[in-house]
Amino acid sequence: MNYDREGQPVAALVWFPVLAGEIAERIVWKHHLSRAIGKRAIVVGAGAGGIATAARLAKAGFSVTVLEKNSFTGGRCSLIFHEGHRFDQGPSLLLLPKLFQEAFRDLDTSLEAEGVELLRCPTNYKVWFADGESFELSTDLARMKTQIERWEGKDGFHRYLDWLREAHQHYELSVSEVLHRNFTSFWNLIVPHFVLTGLKLHPLHRVWGRAQKYFWTERLRRVFTFATMYMGMSPFDAPATYSLLQYTELAEGIWYPRGGFHAVLAALVRVGERLGVEYRLNTPVRQVLVSPDGKKARGVQLEAGEILEADVVVVNADLVYAYSNLFPQTPKMQSYGKSLRKKDGSCSSISFYWSLDRTVPELQTHNIFLADEYRESFDAIFDRQSLPKEPSFYVNVPSRIDASAAPEGRDSVVVLVPVGHLPESKGFSEPKSAGMPRDQDWPALVDRARRAVLSTVSARTGCESLDKFITHEIINDPAAWEDKFNLDKGSILGLGHGFFNVLAFRPATRAKGLANAYLVGASTHPGTGVPIALAGAKITAEQILDDLGVMVPWQGNAAVDLDMDRGVPQNEKTNPLDRIQPGVSQVPALRVVLYIYVLVSMLWILWYWYPMRKTLLVSGA
Ligand SMILES: Cc1cc2nc3c(=O)[nH]c(=O)nc-3n(C[C@H](O)[C@H](O)[C@H](O)COP(=O)(O)OP(=O)(O)OC[C@H]3O[C@@H](n4cnc5c(N)ncnc54)[C@H](O)[C@@H]3O)c2cc1C
């Protein structure tokens, strides 16, 4: 007897239509593929979104060229090297590992097959407080229990589990309903299914507000809210949905690719090149060229003057910058560009990359130093766009998890001090209320940030002041972020992620007014972060293929979480040990019977008890 994929028996005769179906499917696939063959796609920018879109389009049959202004790939997710020290220029926390696996799986490969080794950080973070206390966030439930009970007692741990359950819901619903969907119009938001889902995501609550419900000490509220900074947002403003970020760390861990975060993107570049993608580095694009009627993109012009024709143009450069600089400046485009420049941007940073001549064992891989004036430290950044008097900051020691990040006996240290973004976009002098003025004394400001970091680190960890051991320093300030990667106002995480900047309110993946130009990356759908940009690449690539009637090669692959985690298939071949047998209250029919039983019992009690009570009252008993 033969069995199908679900384990059902299939008689030999049944094979014929199955085979015929597969042959027909292949013919249709070839037909659709032929629509892509010979089509030329240009991708502007080799950031996470650009690299992944290029590989996906090549897989679908396009001939793809990626044009990157810098001499390296990865954009923000790139590396800095100095005399044996290696630093992650931007991302250092690999979260949502399944979205990475999905990107590789859709390209018929895997992280392992491409030689990417993910190292699991033994502790997620050490959070250092000014009063000398600390908290180690971890996937280890026993460690979490001990620490939470220390501060909030037994009930505290109970409430932590409740918070985790809510954050789990935010995570699962976001992955299935948001990260894999393109929101092309406002109507996508008001379908009943999405409205119901939306309510469960608590988008109108704030991360801080929900944390107040579950954590009753200020200390734990801080511990479980600072992660909104990954989106460049204050926990006092960020929609409560984003508790999913800390949930993924606690449930799935924080990972680090051996060789640096860029190792993942380098592998995707190799996969793309195998599929035929051509990378042209040191190749800045000046503008997207359009057809005479202005309705279609016909290619791009490089800064060097060369013109490249294409059937499809995908812009991975920062979206706000692109609308003001790369797309043709028609009056409509100008006014759209202006409206984008006014939208809330994420924060910027003063980032230090320090080579140390010794190790600092007091520091773990990921360290968070929270300002005592917690709320004020966010308000200074997000309301006044400045450097807080007492900044909160993040210290990453890649050499703690991966020895290849520094020469033996030394450490490489990255410090990220979040600050406000620049007041106006480069080349535009628009009156903007707040921002870090371009003409301020930057060396003095950087010096203030450095001094705050050095004194806080030694005061809280007990290590000697790091400045004695720094042999070399590299700095990225907001202007450097803007220059290196064309990030509008130096906002390191792109457009903000407040309620009116996400879902259907986020700028679309199809360029305004241009039928065959698209966007991918942190400032379009679904949003910022390397895994999210990879999910965005899938959305944009599928939109392109759909527009051109080209079959999606990875169609039929379930989203990774469904694929990997749907449990043991349930059929007659399932081992009895693995048979799913819901508890009594989980079986709907039984539940209904139970409800009816309870209801009837209550009515029965009322029916008999009421006259009995009356009789008792009348008899004066
Ligand atoms: C300091 C910092 C820390 C971060 N930490 C994390 C983290 O821990 N985990 C995480 O997941 N994410 C993190 N992020 C966010 C993450 O790095 C980004 O969301 C993601 O890398 C954005 O990818 P992207 O596709 O938008 O491309 P980008 O990285 O923006 O790349 C776009 C590319 O386009 C190029 N380009 C621009 N203009 C032109 C032009 N005219 N011609 C040719 N090329 C052009 C740029 O040079 C760049 O290479 C961090 C970011 C920063 C800056």
Q: What is the pLDDT of residues 181-199, one digit of tens each?
A: 888 877 777 777 778 888 8
Determine which of 408-422, 483-497, 498-512 has the lowest per-residue pLDDT on average: 498-512
Mean of the pLDDT values across residues 80-100?
Answer: 96
CA of 263 to the centre of ligand 1 (A): 15
Residue 275, CA distances (Å) to 33, 114, 306, 347, 445 in order:
14, 14, 25, 37, 47
The pLDDT of residue 279 is: 98
CA distance 454 to 374: 19
Nearest CA to ligand 1 atom 14: 91
Cis peptide upstream of residue 526 (ω within 30 degrees of 0):
yes
Q: Is the pLDDT of residue 620 over 90?
A: no
412 lines ligand 1 (CB under 6 A): no
Nearest CA to ligand 1 atom 51: 90
Q: Is the pLDDT of residue 5 over 50?
A: no
Beta carbons within 10 angstroms of residue 126's beta carbon = 21
Please, how many CA atoms are within 13 Å of residue 532, restricted to the half-sphere of its CB?
A: 24
Ligand 1 pocket mutation, candidates 72, 76, 509, criterion most atoms within 8 A of CB: 76
Kindly state the tokens that stand for 210: 């929900």
- Beta-carbon contacts of 127 under 8 Å, excluding residues fewer than 6 positions away, are 134, 135, 136, 137, 222, 223, 226, 367, 368, 370
The pLDDT of residue 564 is: 63
pLDDT-based confidence at 538, cuts 50/70/90?
very high
Q: Is the pLDDT of residue 4 over 90?
A: no
Mean of the pLDDT values across residues 272-278?
Answer: 98
pLDDT, one tens digit per residue, over 21-32 is: 556 555 555 555
Scan for tokens 């870090």, then name that residue.
436
With 0-12 / 13-18 / 19 or more C-beta atoms within 10 angstroms meaning exposed / middle / buried, residue 80 is middle
Residue 248, CA distances (Å) to 181, 252, 579 in order:
20, 5, 28
pLDDT-based confidence at 617, cuts 50/70/90?
low
Amino acid at site 554? W
Q: Is the pLDDT of residue 20 over 70?
A: no
The pLDDT of residue 2 is: 47
- Closest atom of ligand 1 relative to the 351 alpha carbon: 1
The pLDDT of residue 441 is: 87
CA of 267 to the centre of ligand 1 (A): 17
pLDDT, one tens digit per residue, over 323-381 is: 999 999 999 999 999 999 999 999 999 999 999 999 999 999 999 999 999 999 999 99
CA distance 109 to 542: 19
Mean of the pLDDT values across residues 204-233?
Answer: 95
CA of 316 to the centre of ligand 1 (A): 9
Q: Is the pLDDT of residue 14 over 70?
A: no
With 0-12 / 13-18 / 19 or more C-beta atoms within 10 angstroms meaning exposed / middle / buried, residue 432 is middle
- Closest atom of ligand 1 relative to the 51 alpha carbon: 25
Q: Is the pLDDT of residue 33 over 70?
A: no
Q: Is the pLDDT of residue 68 over 60?
A: yes
CA distance 343 to 500: 9
With 0-12 / 13-18 / 19 or more C-beta atoms within 10 angstroms meaning exposed / middle / buried, residue 6 is exposed
Check: CB of residue 360 under 8 Å from CB of residue 413: yes
Nearest CA to ligand 1 atom 7: 91
Mean of the pLDDT values across residues 541-548?
Answer: 96
Strands of 382-485 (E only): list them.
Answer: 393-396, 412-419, 470-476
The pLDDT of residue 497 is: 84
Residue 232, CA distances (Å) to 351, 419, 525, 541 in order:
14, 10, 16, 26
pLDDT, one tens digit per residue, over 195-218 is: 888 889 998 999 999 999 999 999
Beta carbons within 10 angstroms of residue 210's beta carbon = 24
- Beta-carbon contacts of 302 under 8 Å, excluding residues fewer than 6 positions away, are 67, 283, 284, 285, 286, 308
pLDDT-based confidence at 11, cuts 50/70/90?
low
Helix (H) or strand (E) holding 290: strand 285-290
Give residue 98's Cα distance to chain centre: 12
Mean of the pLDDT values across residues 267-276?
Answer: 98
Please, how many CA atoms are within 13 Å of residue 347, restricted to the half-sphere of its CB?
A: 31
Instruction: Classify 237 as helix, strand or coil.
Output: coil
Kindly state the tokens that stand for 216: 């009753």
Burial 309-338 (b: 16+ CB within 10 A, else e): ebbbbbbbbbbbbbbbbbbeeeeebeebbe
Q: What is the DSSP string of 604-621?
A: HHHHHHHHHHHHHHHTT-
- Beta-carbon contacts of 589 under 8 Å, excluding residues fewer than 6 positions away, are none
- Closest atom of ligand 1 relative to the 416 alpha carbon: 1
Mean of the pLDDT values across residues 542-556?
Answer: 93
State phi, psi for 329 to the nearest 5 degrees. -85, 65
Q: Is the pLDDT of residue 470 over 80?
A: yes
CA distance 312 to 66: 12
Determine which of 222-231, 344-353, 496-505 has the lowest per-residue pLDDT on average: 496-505
| Radius of gyration from C-alpha coordinates of the chain | 28
Residue 565, CA distances (Å) to 98, 120, 349, 560 in order:
10, 20, 37, 8
State phi, psi for 225 to the nearest 5 degrees. -130, -20
Mean of the pLDDT values across residues 573-596?
Answer: 77
- Beta-carbon contacts of 383 under 8 Å, excluding residues fewer than 6 positions away, are 434
Ligand 1 pocket mutation, candidates 313, 530, 534, 538, criterion most atoms within 8 A of CB: 530
Question: Average model confidence (pLDDT) for the chain?
Answer: 90
CA distance 510 to 487: 20
48 lines ligand 1 (CB under 6 A): yes
CA distance 491 to 341: 11
Determine which of 70-79, 308-317, 588-597 has the lowest per-residue pLDDT on average: 588-597
91 lines ligand 1 (CB under 6 A): yes
Q: Is the pLDDT of residue 558 over 70?
A: no
CA distance 231 to 506: 14
pLDDT-based confidence at 621, cuts 50/70/90?
very low
CA of 160 to the centre of ligand 1 (A): 34
Mean of the pLDDT values across residues 137-160?
Answer: 97
pLDDT-based confidence at 409, cuts 50/70/90?
very high
Q: Is the pLDDT of residue 402 over 90?
A: yes
pLDDT-based confidence at 612, cuts 50/70/90?
low
Q: At what angle do helices 207-214 and 243-252 cross, to 10 degrees?
A: 60
Q: Is the pLDDT of residue 322 over 90?
A: yes
Ligand 1 pocket mutation, candidates 71, 77, 248, 318, criterion most atoms within 8 A of CB: 77
521 lines ligand 1 (CB under 6 A): yes
Helix (H) or strand (E) holding 557: none
179 lines ligand 1 (CB under 6 A): no
Check: CB of residue 353 under 8 Å from CB of residue 474: yes
Q: Which of 426, 423, 419 lies closest to 435 in space, CA to CA?
A: 423
Q: Give the CA dihedral 109, 110, 112, 114, nearest 10 degrees.
A: 50
